Amino acid sequence: MRTKSLLNFTLNDLEEEMVFLHEPKYRAEQIFVSVHGKNAKRIEDIKGIPFALIKMLEASYCINSVRNLKVTDSLNFNTKKYLFETEDKQRIESVLISEKGRNTVCISTQAGCNVGCEFCATGKMGFNKNLEAGEIVSQVYEVKRLSGEEPTNIVYMGMGEPFLNYDNMLKSLKILTNEKGIAIPSRRITVSTVGFKDKIKRFADDILNPENKSVKNVKLALSLHTTDNGLREKLIPSSVKNRLPDIYSELAYFYKTTGNKVTYEYIYFEGLNDTDSDIKRLTRLSKMIPSNINIIPFHPIGFELNEPLNVFKNKKDIDKLHSDKNLSGFIKKLKAEKVVVNLRNSSGVDIDAACGQLAVLNK
DSSP 316-346: HHHHHTT--TTHHHHHHHHHHTT--EEEPP-
User: Which of 106, 117, 120, 355 is the catalytic position?
Assistant: 355
Read off the DSSP letter of residue 256: H
Rounded Cα distance, 106 and 96, in Å: 6
The question of whether 233 is a catalytic residue gets the answer no
Rounded Cα distance, 112 and 360, in Å: 8
H-assigned helices in the chain: 11-20, 26-32, 51-60, 121-125, 133-147, 166-177, 199-207, 229-235, 244-258, 276-286, 315-320, 327-336
The question of whether 120 is a catalytic residue gets the answer no
User: Which of 93, 135, 142, 270 is the catalytic position?
Assistant: 93
Rounded Cα distance, 49 and 231, in Å: 57
Rounded Cα distance, 12 and 18, in Å: 10
Q: Which parts of 61-131 are beta strand (E)?
A: 61-62, 67-73, 79-85, 91-99, 102-106, 110-112, 127-130
Q: What are the residue numbers of the active site?
A: 93, 355
